[in-house]
Amino acid sequence: MLKFTHATAVAAACLMALPAFADEGVSDTTVQFAQVAALDGPAAALGLGMQQGIQAAFEEVNRAGGIHGRQLQLESMDDGYEPSRSIDAVNSVIESNDYLALIGPVGTPTTKATQPLATDAAMPMIGPFTGAGFLRDPSLTNVLNVRATYDAETAAWIDHLVDDLGLTNIAILYQDDGFGRVGLSGVTKALDARGMSLSAEGTYTRNTVAVKSALLEIRKAKPEAVVMVGAYKPLAEFIKLSRKMKMDATFVTISFVGSKALAEELGPDGEGVIISQVVPQPWDTSLPVVAEYQAALTAVDANAEPGFVSLEGYLTGRVAIEALRNAGAELTRDSYMNALSQIGTVDLGGFSLSYGPGDNQGSDSVFLTRIGTDGTFEAVAPSS
C-alpha cells in the first residue's frame, strides 16, 4: 500500500507546476529551442551575440502572445568552440527529446562535427553562424542557413583589394582548421580567376592567440594587404603586433570575427581594418527590420548595444518564428521541418531571404565595412 507523506505531496505539486513537455520540446503553452555555441573563450562574443539576438526575437513575439498560443523558449549550452564539446551537447539535446530544433550554432569545425548528428536525427538546424559551403548541400533538408557563404565574402575582399585598390601583393592569416581552410580556398579561387596567387600564408591554432610565428612568416613578403580568417582575439593580437613591427598593410577579415568584439579588442589599432558583413548596418534604422531589432533588443536589455552578431541572431530568430507560424497549431518536429522546407521568400522589412527547392540559403548579400577612428563602422563603397 502506498503512503503519501507531506514531502511526496509537495514533490507531486511541483511536478504538476512544471511545463508538461510533450515529445520534441512542444507543450500546450511552450516551444523550446536549443542553442549549442561558444559562450566562453576566444569566440564567446559570437555565441553570446547570437543568443542575445535570438532571445530578442523570441521575447518580441512572446509579448504579443506567442505563436499559436505558445511561448518561445531558448536554452543555450556552451561548447567553447570545440567540436568534441559540441558533439556531447548536441547528442544530449537529441537524446533528451526536449527541444524542437537547434538554432544559432557557431563555427565551422563545430557544425561540421554536429550537423551529421542533427541530420541523422531529423533535428532542424536553423541559422548556423558560419558560411561554410558544406552546410549549403541541397541534400541537407534539416539545415536552414540565413547568411551568405564565406566564398561570397572572400570574393568581395578580392574585388575590393584588387579591382578597387589595385593591390597585387596579398597574404593570408588563417585559423588552422576547417574554418580557416574554407576561407583560404575562397581567397585562392578569387585570386586564381585573376591569374594571381598569395604572396605568403600563416596559420595559428584554434582557441589560442599564438600568432607571432605566422606574422614573422607573412612579414617577409612585405604584403600590401593581409586577409584574415579567424576569431577576434587572435586576429586582434596579430594586428597589434603587426602595427608594432611597422608592417604597413591593409587588414581585411571576415564576418565570423565578431566586428564589435574585434574593434573593442583593438582600440586605436583598429582604425582602417576592413570587415565583410552578411547583415545590414545594425544602426541603420531606415530599414524597418533594423528599427524592430533595436526596439526588441532594448526591451530585453535596456543597456544592450546593437551589433552585427546580435542582428544576425535576431534575423535567425525571425526566420524560426515565421516557420512556426506556417507549421500551424498542431506543432510537431515533422510539421516544423515541412514548414522550414516550404518557407519560400521572407521579407523581414528591408532585408529579404529567399529559399526554394535545393536552396537552403536565404541571403547572398555581403557588405564591406571599415573601422573608423572612434571604433565605429562605416560602409566601404562596392566595386563598380
pLDDT in tens, 130-159: 999 999 999 999 999 999 999 999 999 999
Tell me what pLDDT residue 259 has.
93
Q: How far apart are the first and last CA of the chain?
A: 84
| Mean pLDDT, the chain, whole residue set | 93
Tell me what pLDDT residue 19 has.
44
- Tell me the average pLDDT across 38-56: 95
* Axis crossing angle, helix 232-244 with helix 212-219, rounded to the nearest 10: 50
Measuring CA to CA, which residue among 309, 261, 283 is closest to residue 56?
309
Whether 154 and 134 have beta carbons less than 8 Å apart is answered as no
Tell me what pLDDT residue 383 has.
52
Is residue 22 scored above 70 in pLDDT? no
- φ/ψ of residue 238, rounded to 5: -60, -45
Sheet holding 143-144, edge to edge: 71-78, 30-37, 101-103, 125-126, 143-144
> Residue for cell digits 584588387?
162
Residue type, 373: T
How confident is residue 255, by pLDDT bands cut at 50, 70 and 90?
Answer: very high
Tell me what pLDDT residue 42 has.
82
Is residue 16 scored above 50 in pLDDT? no
Q: Model confidence over 308-358: pLDDT tens digits?
A: 999 999 999 999 999 999 999 999 999 999 999 999 999 999 999 999 999
Tell me what pLDDT residue 6 has.
43
pLDDT more than 70, % of the chain: 93
Q: Evaluate if pTM is beyond 0.75.
A: yes
Residue ranges of the chain that CATH labels 3.40.50.2300: 20-148+284-350, 150-277+367-379
Is residue 204 scored above 70 in pLDDT? yes
∠ CA(239), CA(163), CA(129), 5° rounding? Answer: 55
Tell me what pLDDT residue 241 has.
97
Is residue 379 scored above 80 in pLDDT? yes
Tell me what pLDDT residue 184 has.
97
- Tell me the average pLDDT across 2-6: 40
Tell me what pLDDT residue 262 has.
95
Measuring CA to CA, which residue among 312, 173, 301, 169 is closest to residue 231?
173
Whether 177 and 206 have beta carbons less than 8 Å apart is answered as yes
- Which overall architecture, per CATH, does domain 150-277+367-379 show? 3-Layer(aba) Sandwich (3.40)
Whether 33 and 75 have beta carbons less than 8 Å apart is answered as yes
Tell me what pLDDT residue 382 has.
63
Q: Model confidence over 72-122: pLDDT tens digits?
A: 999 999 999 999 999 999 999 999 999 999 999 999 999 999 999 999 999
Is residue 7 scored above 50 in pLDDT? no
How confident is residue 2, by pLDDT bands cut at 50, 70 and 90?
Answer: very low
Exposure pattern of 178-210 as b/e (b: 16+ CB <10 Å)?
bbbbbbbbbbbebbeeeebebbbbbbbebbebe
Whether 256 and 191 have beta carbons less than 8 Å apart is answered as no
> Residue for cell digits 586605436?
268
DSSP-assigned letter for residue 164: I
CA 127 to chain centre: 7
How confident is residue 23, by pLDDT bands cut at 50, 70 and 90?
Answer: confident
Give SS3 for 375. coil
Tell me what pLDDT residue 188 has.
98
CATH code of the region 20-148+284-350: 3.40.50.2300
Reported as type and span, the H/E element at residue 36 is: strand 30-37
